[in-house]
A = this chain, B = another copy of it.
């Protein structure tokens, strides 16, 4: 199904009403939540990016295969590990040749919901991100697209899989199709959680603490940016509205964010608002992974975006709400696929 719009006029209206207002009771809170947020769809296919079974299957193999990278030791999984909820617990990922990425690796789970890829939105979608990563120096690090295809051609099992995934093409083993296949796979990686049940048909799916946290999350204004299907992921915003972010995060280097992409001074310190789905499992936090724990990250956000200081109970409740955004791992992500065998890098010694 198509991606739902993350911000609508009715949400903006509801927001204007809700900030500063008290929520009378649980039913009213849930009704308000249903205006700000939507439950996850069953997949994240889009009209121009349909998910076919054969493409998603091929994409899953490619996602797990380190042999696509220049030294055959880094796969998508290296920075997007199933055991770590599609992220890697590092402030900044380490790609091929011990190269450190410029920013923190976002989880791949539900990533296709985002309005664009990466912290600065410089990747159009998951398909584009996958293609760029193949030749990005700190990801797979291949010198060019030809080198990627040359590697795949050495693994006999892949040709039939490309033929099956792209049956109308005479030469389907292309980098563009690698991106399509990995994208098709990523569009299946949805993680419905207790919060989706709460938005759906189960008012009791959230604990009292999580409901109190949700109320705070709405009331103080977190929801102004973190809303929609992704509880974020739908817009760009300046990080550090009330005060400079680095004062609160302790970041040593200052990242000007989207300004470096658009060259527009209005985009200084602007980043994509991250989705908060599975946020409890995907620390460290922010574009530079400068903050290790979720309570600390919540306090930083309240301070630099909203000029608020939360007390311990409020932080604990907001964290309880954020925990309700942790879903189960999709089976096709948790379970490693068996790759077509083939040794492609031989260091003779």
Contact = CB atoms under 8 A, between A and B. Distances in A.
Interface in A323-343: 329, 334-339, 341-343
Nearest to A97: B98
Which has the most chain B C-beta neighbours within 10 Å: A284, A339, A348? Answer: A348
B255 A349 contact: yes
Interface stretch (A45-53, A60-68, A111-119): A60-68
Contact of A349 (B67, B290, B345, B346): B290
A251 B334 CA distance: 38
Contacts of A233: none
Size bracket, chain A contacts: 35 or more
| Copy total for this chain | 2
Nearest to A283: B343
A137 to B, nearest CB: 14
Interface string A77-98: 0100111110011111110011
B73 A343 contact: no
B334 A329 contact: no
A276 interface: no
A254 to B, nearest CB: 9
Given A88-B73, A89-B344, A90-B345, A335 B335 contact: yes
A182 to B, nearest CB: 15
A66 B89 contact: yes
Interface string A256-284: 00000000000000000000000011111
Nearest to A293: B343
A84 B345 CA distance: 14
Q: State the main secondary structure of chain A at its contact with B.
A: loop
Nearest to A345: B90
B346 A91 contact: yes
A268 B336 CA distance: 39
A65 B91 contact: no
Contact of A281 (B67, B293, B341): B341
A67 B345 CA distance: 27
Contacts of A81: 64, 66, 336
Given A83-B65, A98-B97, A288 B349 contact: yes
A334 B91 CA distance: 27
Given A64-B81, A66-B81, 9 more contacts: A67-B89, A83-B337, A89-B342, A90-B345, A97-B98, A98-B98, A290-B348, A292-B343, A293-B343
23 contacts: A64-B83, A65-B83, A66-B81, A66-B84, A71-B94, A81-B336, A84-B341, A89-B342, A89-B345, A90-B343, A90-B347, A91-B345, A91-B346, A97-B98, A253-B348, A284-B343, A292-B343, A292-B344, A293-B343, A329-B336, A329-B338, A334-B336, A336-B336
